[in-house]
Amino acid sequence: MSTSPADSFDVVEATVADVHAAMADGRVTAEALVDRYLARIDAYDGRLNAILAVNDDARERARRLDARFERDGLAGPLHGVPVILKDNQDTHDMPTTAGSAALAGSRPPRDAFVVERLREAGAVVVAKANLQELSFGVDTISSLGGETRNAYDLDRRPSGSSGGTAAAVAANLATVGTGSDTCSSVRSPPAFNDLVGVRPTRGLVSRSGIVPLSETQDTAGPVTRTVADAARMLEVMAGYDPDDPVTATGADEVPADGYVPHLDADGLDGARIGVAREFFGLRDEESASETDAAAVTTVVEEAVEEMAAAGAAIVDPVDVVDVDFLKSARVLQYEFARDFDRYLSELGDAAPYGSLAEVHGTGEIAPSIESRIDEAGILDVDVESLDENAGYLRRLRRRQRLRGTTLSRMTELDLDALLYPPSRVPPVEIPEHQPFTEMNCELSAHTGLPAIVVPAGFTDAGLPVGVELLGRDFAEPRLFELAYGFERATNHRHPPERFGELDGV
C-alpha cells in the first residue's frame, strides 16, 4: 500500500470537496486514496457482495493524476476521485458484463460516453459493481455476482438494478458511483441505502455504451452520499453525444455555471411541493403487508412536515395520474431484445454472443431473471415489425399523454415538484424478491421527467427510507435546490454501522 503524506484523512463519508481539500493540504494523494478504498473493498465486500471486479489500472492512473497535480493542479472537477461504475457501462480496460456469466469475457473496445466524461474530469474507476442481471428487475441478483446485500441490514435486499453501486457507496467503498435507470434503478437502491440518486430528464445524459434494456426508458445517473456530489457528478455526465441523438434535446439545458451553484441551503423556502397520494400505501396485499407500507408512509409524512418547516408550501393531496394507466405505458417488454441485440452488434468481435436469445439459450442466466424473461414474453416479440405493432405504438402514445398530463397538473398548481416514496414498502428479507408492484418508478420513467431521491429517515426497524421529488423538463437545477435544502435541514444520511473506519487506512 502506498504511503499518504499524512494518515489523518478519513475516507468514511468523504465527499468530492473533502477529497480535493485534503489533496490541496497534502493530507492525501490520489494513489493513497485509491489504496484506502481498495483496502475497504477487500475488508468489507465479502459481507456485501457488491463488487464484481476491481480495476487493476486504478493505482497507475492515480499516480499519473498525482504527477499532474504536482505540475498543474486539479485535472478536472473529479480529479483523483474514486468512482464505482455499474457494470453495464462500457469500459475499455475492464470487462462489461451486465452481471451475466454469459458476458464475462465481453471487453468493449471503448468507454461508454458517460465513463469517458468521468475520466476526462479526472475520476479514477476503482471497481465495477454487481447489478440485477441484464438490469432486468429490482433485487440485484446475477449469475456472475450472486446476491448483493443491503448495507444497513445484510439479511435484506438493496433493491435494483443498481443495488451493487448503492450498497458499495453506502458502505464507503468509493467516493461516488454510477447507476442506470429504466424504472427505479437510480432511485430505489439509493432510497434503500440512505443515499442520493438522480434520474435525469430524458436527453440530458447519453446512453451510448450502456448495455440497454429499453431505449425509450433507459438513462444513467449518479449515486452518491450527498446532494452536492450528485450535482458535481451530473455536471460531468451530462452532455451532447452524436451517438445518442436524443441528447440533442438536452444539449443547451445544463446551466452555464453548472449545478453546484444551485446548492441552496434555503432551497425549500417558498417552494411549492405537491404530495402525490396515489403513490402511498400498499397496492397488492399479496406482495407485502399493510404494516410494511405504513412504516414507509410514516417516515415520508415526517419528511413532508420537515419540508414545510423549512419553508415549503405543501399542496396535499395532488391527483396526478391514474396508476393503472401509468403502468400501461411500459414499453420495456417490446424493446429489450431489439436494443440488446443492437448493443451486441455494435461490440463487433468483442461480443461473445449475437443476441439476447443466444445469451438466454446458454442456460447461464440466474434462474429468477430467466423466469422473468420467459414470463414477460421478451423473446416472443417480433422486433422487426415494432414500427407496425399496435400495442407498442399505443404505449408510446400513452407516454406522451402522461407527460402532458403531469406537466399540466404541475403548471396548474404552480408546483416545483411532486413528492412520493420511491418504494411503498421497505427492503424485503432475502430470499424474498422485492415486489415491483410496490415500486413508484414509473412516473419519471414513463414521462421522461427528472427525479431526485434523498434520504428521508429510518423506519423503527432501522431501515432507510427515501423521498422522491419529480420536477419539470430539465428542472434539475430546481430539484438540486430543493434536495439540498432538505438535506441541510434534516441531515438524515448516516453511514451503516458495520462498515466503519479501518485501522491504518
Instruction: Please list the active-site residues.
Output: 86, 161, 185
Do the strands 124-129 and 51-54 form a parallel or antiparallel pair, or are they unpaired? antiparallel
- Sequence length of the chain is 505
CB 131 within 8 A of CB 142: yes
Query: Residue 191: CA atoms inside 13 Å, Cβ hemisphere, count?
Result: 34
Report the relative pairing of strands 141-142 and 82-86 from DSSP bridges: unpaired
- From 50, 10, 47, 43, select the one nearest 27 (Cα to Cα): 10
Q: Which bin fits 474, alpha (ψ -120 to 50), beta or left (φ > 0)?
A: left
Cα separation, 124 vs 378, in Å, equals 37
Among candidate residues 37, 60, 1, 64, the one with its CA nearest the CA of residue 177: 37
Alpha-carbon torsion angle 192, 441, 449, 397, nearest 10:
170
First to last CA, the chain: 10
The residues that bridge with 141 in the sheet, in sequence order, are: 147
CB under 8 A, 24+ apart: contacts of 384-391: 386/334, 386/335, 386/338, 389/334, 391/334
For every residue of 374-415, DSSP letters joined together read: HHTTGGGS-GGGGGG-HHHHHHHHHHHHHHHHHHHHHHHTT-
Q: Using CA atoms, how far apart are residues 196 and 467, in angstroms rounded to an integer? A: 10
Locate 148 and state its grid cell: 448483493
| Secondary structure element (H or E) that encloses residue 451, with its range | strand 451-458
Residue that is written with C-alpha cell 430543493 in the block: 482
Pick from 99, 225, 123, 188: nearest CA to 495: 225
Burial 378-417 (b: 16+ CB within 10 A, else e): beebebeebeebeebeebeebbeebbebbeebbeeeebbb
Q: CA nearest 136: which of 100, 85, 95?
A: 100
Q: Report d(CA 199, CA 476) in Å as an integer.
A: 9
Nine-digit cell string for 10: 478519513
CA angle in degrees (0–180, nearest 5) for 106-112-113: 170
